[in-house]
Structures are given as C-alpha cells and as structure tokens.
Amino acid sequence: MVGGDNMRNPLRKRYPRELKKNMGRYSAIFLMLMVTIALMSGFLSVSDGVQVAFRDNRIECKMEDGLFSSYDQISTDTIKKVEELGVSVYKNFYVNENMKNGNVLRIYQNRENTNLVTVMEGTLPTGKNEMAIERLFAESNDISIGDTIAVDGTSRKVTGYVSMPDYSSLFEENSNLMMD
C-alpha cells in the first residue's frame, strides 16, 4: 500500500546514525551553547544586581539631581530666586592638589545635605589635619589608613576610605574619555 498509514519516515533511522557518527561535533556544539548561555545569564543577573545597588546607593546618599558651575560667586538674590522655583542650591566646592608622585588629589569639603559619602573602611575625619580618601585612589597609590600624606604643605592623616555618589568614575574633567 503506497502512501497509507503504514508508511514510515525514512529519517527515523538516519538521526540516530548521524548522532552516533558525529558525536564529537554535536557534543562540542552542545557544550559551547551551554557555556555561552551560562555566561550570559550570569552576566545579566550580575548586571541587574549592580544597577539596583547603584540606584539604591544614589538614593541613600541623597545624590544630586543636577549640577551647574559658575566662574564667579553667585549672588544671594539669584540663589533665592532659583530656590523660589522649588530647587535647592548647595555649594559643592573642591580643590585639586598635585601630589609628589604626579597624581592629582581632588579634595571636597564635608557635605551634610546632599552627595553624602559612604564610609567603606575606617572613619570620617574629625580633626583639622585628618582626611578620608576614595578607596580606589588609595589602592592605586598605596595609601593605607593611618598613613600621613602631604596636602598643600600640611600633613594630613588618612582616617578612612570612602565612596562618593557623585564621583563614582574618576574623571579629572568631564570631557575625558578614560578614567584617571
């Protein structure tokens, strides 16, 4: 009987034979797919976790919503007019100091309202000649807690390592393409 219900697919014997004959090839393809899927799923789950942690840190540290700078001191009247629009204005001054090894140390004043620092290790400075520095900067310059570094002609003791929400990428200028 031709074309009836008893006709079987001729490929039913070919598939097992093909798998048996080329076991190495199919095993390698399966292994590559499995490793690629595992790596990508791991990457994506870590990426999502880092985004959540980064967002939560910005909220916890009261990260600023915007930033502007001026060459001259802004008058009190101008600040009052801006604040009447529902915007809070905070001063966020910093100074760049050249170190003996050629690196630049960016020094911020202690902040109480916005862009609060997170202490990674040690404590925040309490005395005039103390300072906390960014953890990655300390590691790359071999600075430990308790060390003394010269800043603007004065010796300052390092009391801790900190992380700042507004300075998570160490760019000397916003136009730089690579971190320092």
Task: Give the model confidence (pLDDT) of 5-22 as tens digits.
Answer: 677 777 788 888 888 899
Q: How do the residues of the chain divide into helix, strand and coil, expressed in percent and rounded to 5?
A: 35, 20, 45
Q: How far apart are CA 38 and CA 3, in angstroms?
A: 46
Q: Are 64 and 166 in contact (CB under 8 A)?
A: yes
DSSP string across 114-180: SS--EEEEE----STTEEEEEHHHHHHTT--TT-EEEETTEEEEEEEEEE-TT-SS--SSTT-SS--
pLDDT at 171: 65
pLDDT at 179: 60
Half-sphere exposure in the Cβ direction for 83 (13 Å, CA): 10
Q: What residue ranges of the chain have pLDDT lower than 50?
A: 1
Give the closest residue to 170 by CA, choosing from 106, 101, 97.
Answer: 106
Tokens of 82: 């801006």
Q: How many residues belong to the chain? A: 180
pLDDT at 2: 56
For the packed helices 23-60 and 11-21, what is the interaxial angle rounded to 10 degrees? 80
pLDDT at 173: 67
Q: Are 116 and 165 in contact (CB under 8 A)?
A: yes
Q: How far apart are CA 85 and CA 135, in angstroms?
A: 37
Tokens of 84: 């009447």
